[in-house]
Structures are given as structure tokens and as C-alpha cells.
A and B are shown apart, each in its own frame.
Chain A
């Protein structure tokens, strides 16, 4: 509680080191001790206090925390333990608190980017190595139909070997000759277009 005496301590004359404490100093010390006790035991601090008291209270809290003797309340401890157990067994409420992360998942999250980056680098290096080591690209050229490979009976060709010399008495028998030519060429055309040998040919 702030009083006018508080100001006397800060603004008044500095007492001698061995001088006995005044009554106002005792009162102020007792009040501040109660304030520190309330803060450390978790009780509600007073709604208003002087800036000097607040600064001193914070310093006291830091000093106590640094000493390692801070203990959580029983309810708080129980809540944290239950949260950790829930996360460990993968319970639905595991993420409710969000303050505790399972150790295994934490490790995974830490190493995953590095592992994926390493794998990507490896794949890229392998691709570059492959491109470098392989020879010139092989070109697949479609087979070309060569004239020499075509059977004679598939070719368009003069009809002389088929017809032979034409006697004078048969000079006008063109109808018979066209029948022979057509039949012969049809055989070749069918052989090329319909048989397995013809279909395999380029």
C-alpha cells in the first residue's frame, strides 16, 4: 500500500549504515514482505501499487525463479502431466494445450527439410552425371523402304515378260491381254497388302 512515508524513504536523507530502522522503514518492509509472499504463493496481487514496489516485486520474482526453487501448483502440474500423456498416446485432446510436442515428432520436423533437400540434391546430381556420362543421343530412324528389298511381284513394271511378243493375228486382242495384266498385278497387290509378309514389309 503506498503511503507518504514511501516517498520519505526515496527522497529523504540517507540514514547511516548502522543506524537502527525507523518505524516507517519497518512498516514499509513488512508491507513489501507481505506483497512478495502473495506474489510467490500465487495469490492475487493488490490492484494498485507504487512503481517502486512493482519494480522491486519483479526483481524478487526473477531472483526466486533463477534460484530454481519455483514449484508449480498441484493443479498446474497435474494439467501439464495429463497433456503430455495424451500427446504421447495420440489422444484427441493432444493439441489443446499446444505447449508440449512429442520428442519423436519434434525430431522428425527438425530433420525432414534436411532429408528432402539431400534427396533432391542427390537426384539432381545423378541426372547431371547421367547426362554427362552417356554418349551422344541415339536416334531411332524409321526403316526406309528400299527399292532393292521390294519383291518384283509387288512392283509396278512393264508387262512385256508377262505378255511376250504379240502375233499379228492377235494384234487386236487387247481385251485378253488386259485381263492377264490385271490378274497378275492383282496377285502382287494382294500379296503386299493382305499377307503377313506384305504387312511386315516397310
Chain B
């Protein structure tokens, strides 16, 4: 009996030594970064942004512009997955709406600051950046509208604001044209 146990032990040890399939551990580095695919975090952030926009629209329909502005500001604070291109697009679109809300509340300087921050922080040109330039042009127009053309002290500033508005609209058109051409080439 003891010889049989010894034989089984030898066979067992031999079998263990013959297990040749080595499975390497899962590599920690993937060629596809987590931000390259649509994941749950991105969907949650987009869902929250959508709800804040709808909430702001309800407030606007009731004439509650301050509450609508606060709701849109919430979108800026949303946390998106790192490197997600949607994050920049959604924030720029929210900035455009926020700037228009501020203009409607006669907060032109705050509106201009909101738009310029969005343009400065953008990593690439997009239709949303072009839209920011469009809103910037509207803000310049709004500023020009507040100036008295008969007042010599404000006449020069008026001309300057109008020129700035034209430049902003032109920049918006340029971005849109370049992007459209690029998209057509990609197709």
C-alpha cells in the first residue's frame, strides 16, 4: 500500500511539473484608453447635461432667467471622462446659452467673459466654437447698441464694437466652412 501511495505522489509531482501552459496576467496597459469608448460615466454626464438644459428651458418658459442661468452653470461643473471630446462640445454649447441668458439680463461683460473663456479653453475648432464666436458677435452688437452714436466720446467705441462683431461673425463662418470641407473630405 505504501508503494502505491509513493507511486501516486510521483505521478502527481510529475503532472504538476508538466503543466506547461503559462497564462500571462492581463496587461495593465491597453491600446484602447477608457475614454475611447462610450462608457457609463460619459452617458451619466451627458444625461445630467441634458436634464440641466431641460430644467433651464422650463425656467426660461416661466421668465425665471436667474434660475435658468444657475441651471446652465451646473453643466460647466459636470465631470466628464478624461479626454472625452463630447465634454468640450457640451460645455461650449452651454456657454453659448449662458452668454445669451446673460445678455438678456443685460450682463454684457459677464457674457463676454463666459464666451472668451470657452474659446480660450477649447482644444480644437468645432461647430460649437464657431457658435461661441457667433454669440460673441451678438454680444458686441449688444454693446454697440448701448452706445450713443451722437456722443463723440462713444462714437469710436461704437465703431470698434461693430468691427469686433463683424470679425467674430467672420471667424465663425471661417470655422464652419473649414469644418464642413473637412467633413466632406472624410466622407
**Complex Cα spacing A160 to B85, Å:** 10
Q: Do most interface residues of chain A lie in helix, strand or loop, or is the interface mixed?
A: helix
In Å, the complex CA distance between A134 and B21 comes to 12
Q: Are A139 and B22 in contact (CB under 8 A)?
A: yes
Contact call A140/B131, Cβ cutoff below 8 A: no
Q: List residues of chain A with CB within 8 A of the CB of B86.
A: 156-159, 181, 185
Task: Name B's interface SS.
Answer: helix
Chain B min CB distance to A11 (Å): 62
- Which of A140, A142, A166, A178 has its CB near the most chain B CB atoms (within 10 A)? A178
- The interface residues of chain B lying within 8 Å CB-to-CB of A139 are 22-24
A142, B85: Cβ atoms under 8 Å?
no
Q: How far is the CB of B94 from chain A (nearest CB, A)?
A: 6
Within 8 Å of chain B (Cβ to Cβ): is A54?
no
A174 in contact with B53 (CB, 8 Å): yes
Is A29 interfacial (CB 8 A cutoff)? no
Tell me how far the C-beta of B158 lies from the nearest C-beta in chain A, rounded to whole angstroms.
21
CA distance in complex: A171, B86 (Å): 18
> With A and B bound together, what is the CA distance between A186 and B49 in angstroms?
14
Kindly state the separation between the CA atoms of A117 and B7 in the bound complex, as whole angstroms: 8
Question: Distance (Å) between the CB of B31 and the closest chain A CB?
Answer: 5
Mark each residue of chain A from 107 to 150: 1 if its CB lies under 8 Å from any CB of chain B, else 0: 00000110011011001101100110010011111101111001
- Known contacts A171-B131, A185-B46: A140-B24 contact under CB 8 Å: yes
A185 touches B43 (CB 8 A): yes
- Residue A2, interface by CB 8 Å: no
Contact A181 B46, beta carbon cutoff 8 Å: yes
A-B contact pairs, 26 of them (CB 8 A): A116-B7, A131-B18, A137-B20, A138-B21, A139-B22, A139-B23, A140-B23, A141-B24, A142-B24, A144-B31, A146-B31, A156-B38, A156-B85, A164-B180, A166-B127, A166-B131, A171-B131, A172-B97, A174-B94, A175-B56, A179-B50, A181-B86, A181-B90, A185-B42, A185-B86, A189-B40
